[in-house]
Every structure is written in C-alpha cells, then in structure tokens.
C-alpha cells in the first residue's frame, strides 16, 4: 500500500478527515521549504501538496501566482523541488507528498525522466493542472509504472461522462475544485459542493479532497463534513506573505493547527448525505 492510500485508511479508522495544505516550493525562500513542510506535519497536516513554481500559472489566483514569482526569483526549478522532497524524506518517510504544477516544467524535463526522478525523490502523487485526462493517458501510465498516483481535478462544471473518464485514470484521491474560479477566490457555495459531490461519488471510489476558496475554520469544517480531505492553499500562502522570517514557522503552524482543530470537530468518515 502506498503512502497516500495508507494515510487515508488510517484516518478512516480514526474517523478523521485529511488536512492537505499547499505551499509553493521555494516560497518565500528555498531554505524555508523543507522546514515549513515538517512544521505543517507537526501541526496536523496529513498530506503535503508542494507547488512547482511556473511563470504562467493560469488556473491560480494572484496569491499563488505571487508565491510562484517569489520562488522563481530564486530560480527554483523542478529539479530543486525534487531535491527538497529528498531532503524532507530524510526525516519523514510517512507523510505523502504531492507535487502540483503545470505541464511545461514537466515536459521540459521529459515526462518519463520526471516520473523516474520523482519516484526516487519520494514523491507519492502528481497533479498537473493543465493535463486534463484526454491529453495525458500515456503520462498517467508513466506515473503508475513508477507507483506514483496521478491526481486529477474535477470541477462544478464537469459532466458525469467526464467524471467517469477521470475515474478510470485517477489514483490516490481526486481533487474537487469547489467553485467556478481560480485559487484564492471567495465565493464558496457549500450546497453546490454537497450536491455535486453526491453525483461524483456515484463514479469515484477513491477519496475526494475539496479545495479552492477555503479561507477559514468554518469553511474548513463545513467542507470536511462533505469530503474526505480539505485542501488549503492561498490562505496559507497569505500567512507566509504576512510573516517575517522569524515568525514564519509559528504563524503557519498556528494556522494549520486551527484548521486541524476545525476538521477534528467533524466526526465520522461517512460524508453528510443531505445538502
């Protein structure tokens, strides 16, 4: 059993929901990334999504784009990101790490080279935002050959036929985008999420994480009642932006702890069925 699957099954046994924070590798400085990852795990994160910086992050809002730009000022490339995972794995062999980013840096390295290197580094899953299932069957197989889970997005506008297509390719978990918009938006509608997840669950048997627009404890808790995992990105990046080097780890840790507490107020592994 890989780290993602075993993490979800352990949580299920404990009646808990997964907290998945997102940070961009190299933000605010490359030297802080591995320390931030460990701090997030200590504060209660179950899986880490590590963003691979890209010059043109089309699906992200301004907050995550700024984090990408800060990382790129330090010339952080995909190889550097993989080295950070290697560093992280020296003291944490349990927590799953998902790389999240855009196609071009992966293609620049070569998809097959990347899959091998990611496996060696200790990466557990990869989400390439601009690889919809139609364009990446071969790539998904290359990842699976290395026992890395290809993670896919689903959105409020994904029709059922496409959910079925994703169901065939996806492993680990799927990432449901909670709203029509970009990361960091603020118009989350929980009853929409609830209705759509009910439909998605008829096709998808692996765990479902929900992200985009989850900005506070209340939203985290509400989403945790509907999903298997809660993904928080922009809100954490904002905390990083608003911290000094001295306060960074404490501030991010406190935020993650409060999100953890919100998730732990939710009991039971079965998602709420009424919307």
Partner 1 sequence: MKIYDLPDKQGHFGPYGGTFVAETLIAALDELLAQYQHFRDDADFQAEFNHELRHYVGRPTPIYHARRWSAHLGGAQILLKREDLNHTGAHKINNTIGQALLAKRMGKTRVIAETGAGQHGVASATVAARYGMECVVYMGSEDVKRQATNVYRMKLLGATVIPVESGSRTLKDALNEAMRDWVTNVENTYYIIGTVAGPHPYPMMVRDFQAVIGREARVQMEEEYGRQPDALIACVGGGSNAIGLFYPYIEDNEIRMIGAEAAGKGINTHQHAATLVTGRPGVLHGNRTYLIQDDNGQIIETHSISAGLDYPGVGPEHAWLKDCGRAEYVAVTDDEALSAFHALCRFEGIIPALESSHALAYAAKIAPSLGKDKLLLVNLSGRGDKDMVTVAQQSGIEF
Catalytically annotated residues: 49, 60
CA Rg value for the chain? 17
- Number of residues near partner 1 (by CB under 8 A): 44
**Residues whose CB is less than 8 angstroms from the CB of residue 216 and which lie 6 or more positions away in sequence, other chains included:** 235
Distance in angstroms (rounded) separating the CA atoms of residues 63 and 215? 12
Span near partner 1 by CB under 8 A; candidates 16-24, 57-65, 190-198, 262-270: 57-65
Q: Is 103 in the site for partner 1 (CB under 8 A)?
A: yes
Of 2, 155, 243, 258, the residue at the interface with partner 1 (CB under 8 A) is 155
**What sections of the chain are H helices per DSSP?**
3-13, 33-42, 62-73, 78-89, 103-109, 111-121, 137-145, 160-169, 190-201, 217-224, 234-241, 248-264
Q: Provide the Cα torsion 103, 106, 112, 116; round to 10°.
A: -130
Specify burial of residue 216 (Cβ count, 10 A radius: 0-12, 13-18, 19+).
middle
Q: Is 129 in the site for partner 1 (CB under 8 A)?
A: yes
* DSSP classification of residue 63: H
Say if residue 199 is exposed, middle or buried (CB neighbours under 10 Å; 0-12, 13-18, 19+): middle
Residue 180 binds to partner 1 (criterion: CB under 8 A): yes
Name the minimum Å distance from CB 158 to partner 1.
6
For residues 5 and 155, which CB has a smaller minimum distance to partner 1 in the complex?
A: 155
Q: How far is the CB of 211 from partner 1 (least distance, A)?
A: 12
Report d(CA 148, CA 161) in Å as an integer.
25
Which residue lies nearer to partner 1 by CB, 81 or 230?
81
The window from 15-23, 146-154, 231-239, 242-250 that contacts partner 1 (CB under 8 A) reads 146-154
Q: Does 159 bind partner 1 (CB under 8 A)?
A: yes
Lookup result for tokens 């709203």: 179
134 binds partner 1 (CB under 8 A): yes
Task: Indicate the residue among 202 and 254 with the shorter CB distance to partner 1.
Answer: 202
According to the binding rule CB under 8 A, does residue 189 interact with partner 1? no
Stretch that binds partner 1, among 37-45, 176-184, 215-223, 224-232 (CB under 8 A): 176-184
Does 157 contact partner 1 by CB under 8 A?
yes
How far is it, in rounded angstroms, from Cα 62 to Cα 202? Answer: 34
Encode 18-42: b = buried (16+ Cβ within 10 Å), e = exposed.
bbbbbbbbbbbebebbbebbbbbbe
Binders in 61-80 for partner 1, by CB under 8 A:
61-62, 65-66, 69, 72, 75, 77-79
Enter the tokens of residue 240: 């990083």
**By C-beta, is 155 or 269 nearer to partner 1?**
155
Binding site for partner 1 (CB under 8 A): 53-59, 61-62, 65-66, 69, 72, 75, 77-79, 102-109, 129-132, 134-135, 152-155, 157-159, 162, 177, 180-182, 185
């Amino acid at each position: 059993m890989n780290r993602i699957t075993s993490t979800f099954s352990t949580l299920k046994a404990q009646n808990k929901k997964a907290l998945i924070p997102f940070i961009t590798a190299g933000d605010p400085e490359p030297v802080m990334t591995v320390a931030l990852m460990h701090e997030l795990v200590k504060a209660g994160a179950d899986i880490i999504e590590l963003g691979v910086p890209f010059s043109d992050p089309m699906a992200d809002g301004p907050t995550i784009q700024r984090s990408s730009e800060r990382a790129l000022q330090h010339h952080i490339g995909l190889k550097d990101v993989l080295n950070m995972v290697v560093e992280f794995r020296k003291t944490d062999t349990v927590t799953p790490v998902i790389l999240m980013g855009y196609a071009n840096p992966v293609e620049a390295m070569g998809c097959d080279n990347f899959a091998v290197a990611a496996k060696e580094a200790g990466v557990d899953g990869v989400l390439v935002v601009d690889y919809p299932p139609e364009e990446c069957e071969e790539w998904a197989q290359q990842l699976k050959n290395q026992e890395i889970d290809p993670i896919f997005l689903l959105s409020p506008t994904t029709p059922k036929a496409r959910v079925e297509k994703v169901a065939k390719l996806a492993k680990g978990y799927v990432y449901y985008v909670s709203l029509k918009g970009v990361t960091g938006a603020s118009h989350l509608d929980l009853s929409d999420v609830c209705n759509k997840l009910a439909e998605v669950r008829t096709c998808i048997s692996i765990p479902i994480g929900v992200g985009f627009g989850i900005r506070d404890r209340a939203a985290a808790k509400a989403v945790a009642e509907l999903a298997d995992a809660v993904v928080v990105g922009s809100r954490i990046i904002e905390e990083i932006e608003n911290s000094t080097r001295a306060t960074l780890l404490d501030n991010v840790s406190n935020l993650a702890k409060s999100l953890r507490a919100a998730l732990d107020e939710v009991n039971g592994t079965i998602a709420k069925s009424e919307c």
